[in-house]
């Protein structure tokens, strides 16, 4: 006599143990944690994601400090690391978001999102898990870049609370950027658009105060450089590490981040639902 076995989906997503509904808050938490683990494992095993999120920013930091560090330090009056460390941390956040969007596009094209949709899984857990996984990835990438900068001479001069706020800015900025990239990736099947976002991120880097001080840019470019989101976030992080005005850049960074989330959160949710039902 053959004993029926339990379906694999029930072992992975325990939705009805003890009568718990798949739409309950308990199911949302459990299913989200399972999918967060899946996403983090997939990203750690993906060479492209690791290179764009960790290796590329770390090498960029070393290269900038080696080639331009002395000149920028002499021009700015303080170590160039107080600008390049925040900037490369933010660049790593953006690069990792683009790599994550590409991975999600592959899952959509392979039908994996649609398979999750027909399983007894909380509907919101797919998108919520990506937000949580992005937050974990952003914090990990920021800590790695700060660690590399620390070896090169970067220090937190404003205390523990300022250091924690320093780590929170890439989290806020990165979640806003990831929301935008997710919305774009879900509404297009063309990888060229994601590549265009990557190109735009590179332009933001080269035209920011983390690359060279604002006074080094020509007058026509100074207003653009001073008010673009990467500059605002970099200036806020520099002030938290070195000292100076924090409120102005922090308010601007918050405005950019909240604005991006407000504009792109609903399209991202609609696009994820549409991709999951294909």
For 10-57, write each residue's pLDDT tens digit.
444 444 444 456 767 777 788 888 888 888 888 888 777 788 778 888
With CA atoms as reference, report the closest residue to 129 among 114, 111, 113, 109. Answer: 113
DSSP, residue by residue, 54-105: IIHHHHHHHHHHHHHHHHHHHHHSS-THHHHHHHHHHHHHHHHHHHHHHHHH
Total residue count of the chain as it appears in this document? 278
What pLDDT shows up at residue 8?
43
Q: What's the token pair of residue 87?
A: 């900037």
Q: Determine the pLDDT at residue 196.
A: 79
CA angle 43, 44, 45 (to 5 degrees): 90
Mean pLDDT of the chain: 83
User: Could you tell me what percent of the chain has a pLDDT over 70?
Assistant: 89
Give the closest residue to 269 by CA, choosing from 131, 137, 135, 133.
131
* Banded pLDDT at 189 (limits 50, 70, 90): low
Q: What is the pLDDT of residues 60-114, one digit of tens each?
A: 899 988 888 888 888 878 888 999 999 999 998 888 888 777 777 777 777 777 7
Tell me the average pLDDT across 146-174: 92
pLDDT in the model for residue 57: 87
Q: Could you tell me the pLDDT band of residue 164, with boundaries at 50, 70 and 90?
A: very high
What is the pLDDT at residue 257? 94
Sketch the domain layout of the chain as residue ranges: 23-276
pLDDT digits (tens, 9 = 90+) for 221-232: 999 999 999 999
d(CA 185, CA 189) in angstroms, rounded, equals 7
Give the CA angle between residues 171, 125, 105 to the nearest 5°: 75
User: What was the pLDDT predicted at 244?
Assistant: 86
């Amino acid at each position: 006599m053959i004993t029926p076995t339990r379906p694999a989906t029930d072992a992975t997503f325990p939705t009805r143990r003890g009568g718990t509904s798949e739409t309950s808050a308990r199911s949302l938490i459990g299913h989200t944690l399972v999918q967060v683990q899946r996403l983090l494992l997939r990203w750690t095993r993906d060479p492209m994601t690791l290179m764009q999120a960790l290796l590329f920013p770390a090498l960029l930091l070393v290269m900038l400090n080696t080639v331009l560090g002395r000149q920028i330090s002499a021009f700015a009056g303080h170590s160039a690391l107080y600008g390049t460390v925040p900037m490369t941390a933010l660049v790593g956040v953006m690069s990792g978001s683009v790599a994550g969007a590409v991975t999600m596009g592959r899952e959509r094209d392979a039908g994996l999102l649609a398979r999750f949709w027909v399983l007894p899984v909380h509907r919101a857990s797919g998108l919520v898990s990506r937000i949580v996984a992005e937050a974990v990835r952003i914090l990990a990438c920021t800590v790695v870049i700060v660690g590399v900068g620390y070896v090169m001479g970067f220090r937190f001069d404003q205390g523990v609370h300022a250091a924690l706020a320093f780590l929170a800015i890439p989290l806020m900025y990165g979640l806003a950027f990831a929301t935008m990239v997710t919305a774009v990736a879900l509404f297009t099947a063309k990888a060229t658009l994601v590549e265009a976002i990557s190109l735009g991120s590179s332009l933001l880097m080269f035209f920011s105060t983390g690359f060279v001080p604002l006074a080094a840019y020509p007058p026509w470019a100074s207003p653009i450089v001073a008010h673009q989101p990467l500059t605002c976030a970099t200036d806020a992080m520099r002030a938290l590490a070195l000292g100076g005005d924090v409120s102005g850049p922090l308010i601007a960074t918050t405005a950019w981040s909240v604005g991006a989330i407000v504009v792109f959160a609903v399209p991202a949710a609609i696009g994820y639902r549409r991709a999951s039902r294909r």
